[in-house]
Amino acid sequence: MSGAVMPGSAVGVLGSGQLGRMFALAARRMGYRVHVFSPAAGSPAGQVADREWSASYEDLDAAREFAESVEVVTLEFENIPISVLEGIGEIVPVRPGIRALHTTQHRLREKTFLAQAGFPVAPYRAVGAAEELRDALKEIGVPAVLKTAGFGYDGKGQVKIEAADGADAAWEALGEDEAVLEAWVDLEREVSVVGARGLDGAFAHYGAVENTHRDHILDLTVTPAGLPPEMVKEAIEISRGVFEALEIVGTACVEFFVATDGKLLVNEVAPRPHNSGHWTIEGAVTSQFEQQLRAVCGLPLGGTDRPRPAAMANLLGDLWQGGVPNWAAALALPDVKLHLYGKAKARPGRKMGHLTALADDPRKAAQLVLAAREALVPAGSA
């Protein structure tokens, strides 16, 4: 293919966590070399990459040198200064693209983009001062959620406001900075669509999956989601529209709220592989990481057939608090697969790995993966 980055080439990744690690493993299997760039050394992705560049994301000179060593750059961490991305983009292509990154790394820009483009979102208001928050609550109503405008993930940077007189305390708790107030959504469930868009505009997806969170961190993903077919179709079409409007090239995820009134609302967009797509490594013909590689290298997208229902459960650092997990007990279940991310220190709330299980129906897959995770708990530590 003309202009494609072929196997044997070096691909760069901004960020070096578990997403970069799984991308690097997929890329090396297909014959690519992988360079990762982040402030860390000995990182999860760096452990399996051909070269680990350790420098601040603000170090433009180092970023340019990194870019000179590869033929295309993608990312697993989107909160990179736009000036650095532009500097890299002067040397090699940056995919999914600076427009997509600039929009999605800032909640207010993202909400504004989605609303103006006609995608369904919960009512929201921009807030820049305590007085503005009080006025916004009068319009939005309570309960509501106040979120920092930028650099939030896994529930960080947000506060629920139960009553109007809680405005000042919420504003102070969030750091008195630019924020977004969102109406509280009465949830039936949360779902997401992971997909990929190629350099030629082709779109591929993995259907809708159902997500359960604990303490704002993804705990369990089950696929396929138990949604009516027409809602699945709607979620996929909205996701396709978001990918096209943002001109995404690569793997990305659109997260949705399913409200109790039956409405489907876009929560946020992640312009990279997503935790809710990890099951694709075993559960789909082409994993989300191989799909990312194919897309950013200008190759045809792979098939997304899902032969069996699947479930994925996160393994957080809390699991290590009672001692070393009982790996043998979990792996005694033949349809369970273990993924560990190579992180040296287990801390509560830190994503250390995940389990994936395949079964004949989604409910059984969920039961199996949860049973495997429970089996990891050392005897006497529960």
Residue type, 275: N
- Give the residue-averaged pLDDT of 77-94: 94
Using alpha carbons, select from 213, 168, 164 the residue that is nearest to residue 192.
Answer: 213
Name residues whose C-beta falls within 8 Å of residue 116's C-beta, 6 or more positions apart in sequence: none
Q: Are residues 205 and 288 in the same domain?
A: yes
Instruction: Give the CATH number of the domain where residue 140 resides.
Output: 3.30.1490.20
> For residues 185 and 165, what is the distance between their CA atoms, to the nearest angstrom?
20
pLDDT of residue 343 exceeding 70, the answer is yes
**218 and 278 in one domain?**
yes
Task: Determine which helix (DSSP H) or strand (DSSP E) holds 160, and give its type and residue range.
Answer: strand 158-161
One domain, residues 208 and 74: no
2 belongs to a structural domain: no
What is the pLDDT confidence band of residue 157, given thresholds at 50, 70 and 90? confident
- The answer to whether residue 251 sits within a structural domain is yes
Please report whether residue 114 resides in a domain: no
Measure the CA–CA gap between 179 and 149, rounded to whole angstroms.
4
Q: Which of 183, 202, 220 is the last residue of a domain?
A: 183
Q: Is the same domain home to 227 and 361?
A: yes
**Residue 1 within a domain:** no
Residues 247 and 318 in one domain: yes
**pLDDT tens track for 159-172:** 999 998 888 898 98
- Domain annotation covers residue 116: no
Report pTM: 0.95
d(CA 382, CA 281): 30
In this structure, the answer to whether residues 146 and 40 fall within a common structural domain is no
Confidence of residue 319 (pLDDT cuts 50, 70, 90): very high
In terms of domains, do 177 and 205 share one?
no
Higher-scoring residue by pLDDT: 294, 176: 294
**Residue-wise pLDDT tens digits, 33-77:** 999 999 999 999 999 999 999 999 999 999 999 999 999 999 998
178 and 191 both lie in a single domain: no
Domain count of the chain?
3
Domain's final residue, options 143, 168, 183: 183
Could you tell me if residue 240 is inside a domain? yes
Give yes or no for residue 274 having a pLDDT over 60. Answer: yes
Q: Which domain holds residue 71?
A: 10-94
Residues 66 and 208 reside in one and the same domain: no
Asked if 37 and 141 sit in the same domain, the reply is no
Whichever domain contains 201, its CATH number is: 3.30.470.20
10-14 vs 72-75, strand pairing mode: parallel
Do 265 and 368 lie in one domain? The reply is yes
User: Do residues 233 and 267 both lie within one domain?
Assistant: yes
